[in-house]
Amino acid sequence: MSEDTVRRGARTVIPVLLITLLSLLAPGCRIVEGGATTDVPPPVTATPTAEPAEPSGRRPGVVNIKTEQDLSGTRAAGTGLVLDPSGLVLTNNHVIRGATKIMGTDTDNRRTYTAQVVGYDRAGDIAVIRLKGASRLKAAAFASASGVNVGDTVSAVGNAGGKGGTPRVVTGKVTALEQSVTARDDSNGTTERLTGLIETNAPIKPGDSGGPLLNTAGKVIGINTAASAGLSVDGDEEKKNHRGYAIPTDRALDIARQIQRGEASTTVHIGPTALLGVKVRSNANSPGALVAEVVPGTPADTARVPVGAAIVTFDGRAVDSPTALTTLMMAHHPGDIVQMQWTTAQGAHVSATIRLTEGPPQ
C-alpha cells in the first residue's frame, strides 16, 4: 500500500500522522508530519487469529545501544538484536547513522561493548554492527513474518526512552499489513520511504528502534522502526491511538545476510564510511549539490571548498542533487582519492584531487 505526498513549504510530507523513527529523540531525528489519522492506508485484508493468544514476555538477545555523534554534538539510543554468539547485532540504520562512537550492552550478560559498523542499508533502514570482544552471546530467535495476520497478539521489546537496563515489554495487536510511511531527517530535510511494514497498536516509544516485535511464541517477526505520536481519543490524553511500524524479519534478515557476505550495492555500504566533510542541499538555480557548511579539518576544508559552491562532478560523474552526491560517496571508502569539481557563487569553475577520510555511517 502507499500514500500520496503533499508539499509543505520546501519539504515533502505525507498528510497522515506524525511518524517518528524511534531512536532517542535528539536533533536530526527523522519524522513525518501530517494531520488526520483517517487518511492512513487501510489494512491489507487478512484473516484474524481465531482465538486471542497470550503475549510473550521473552526478551531474546536484546542489546541496548547508545551512540555519540561528535559532528553534531548529540547522543542517541536504540535497540539491537543478537544475530550470532560472536557479537553480530542487527539494528536500524537510523539508530547508528552519524555515530562516531557506538556502545552496545547485551541485556542477558549485562556486559557493555564498543561496537563497529559492519555495513548498512540506508533505503531499507537496516544495519549490522559487531560488539568487539563479545562471545557466547544468546542469539535472538527469528520466525518468518509470512504467517502474520491482522489481529495477532504481539509484544514489542526495547530500550524505551534510552534508559538502558532491563528492556521494556509492551503488548498489542497487529492492526495492518503492507503499510508505507515516509520518514524525514530533521537535520537535513531528506526523506526516506519505508514500505511493506507491519502495523501494530503496541505503544512503542523512542529508543525502541531496532528492537523485536515478537509473536506469542517469543520469536521475532519484525524489527520496530517507527511509531505515531499517539493522538488522543476524544481529547483524553490517557487514551491514545498508538501506531507502531516494524520491518518484517524476512526482509531484515535478507539485508543482514547480504551485509554479512560483504556484498555492497547502490544502497548497501560495507565497512567504514568515507568522509568528504560538507553538508549540502538542493540548488534551485543550477544543477549540483549546494554546499551549506564545510566541516573544519575535513578533506573538503583542506581542498578549500567554499560555502555557497555547487558540487557538479565527483569521481568523474555528474552530480545533480545532494542525493546523487551521497550515492556516489557510498561507493567509496576511507583513503580513496577522487577528483571533484565545483562552481563558486561568482561562477568560477574549480577542481581538486581529494583523499577521503573516515567518517560516521550515513
- Catalytic residue set: 94, 125, 209
Say if residues 186 and 29 touch (Cβ distance below 8 Å).
Answer: yes
Say if residues 201 and 243 touch (Cβ distance below 8 Å).
Answer: yes
Say if residues 164 and 105 touch (Cβ distance below 8 Å).
Answer: yes
Q: Find all residues with CB under 8 Å of 43, minimum gap 6, and list them.
A: 150, 175, 176, 177, 199
Show the CA angle centred on residue 222, arms to residues 59 and 146, nearest 5°: 125
> What's the CA gap between 297 and 292, in Å, rounded?
16
Residues forming beta bridges with residue 7, ordered by sequence position:
12
CA-CA distances (angstroms) from residue 150 to 2, 287, 295, 342?
18, 46, 48, 52
Cell, residue 314: 565527483
Instruction: Give which of 106, 118, 136, 94 is closest to 259, Cα–Cα.
Output: 118
Q: Please report which residue ranges of 128-170 form alpha helices under DSSP H.
A: none
The gap from C-alpha 266 to its chain's centroid, in whole angstroms, comes to 16
How many alpha carbons fall within 13 Å on the CB side of residue 9?
3
Backbone angles phi, psi at 327, to 5 degrees: -60, -45
Report CA Rg, the chain: 21
Backbone angles phi, psi at 94, to 5 degrees: -70, -15
| Maximum alpha-carbon separation in the chain | 71
> What's the CA gap between 104 and 129, in Å, rounded?
9
Cell, residue 211: 528492537
Cell, residue 126: 537496516
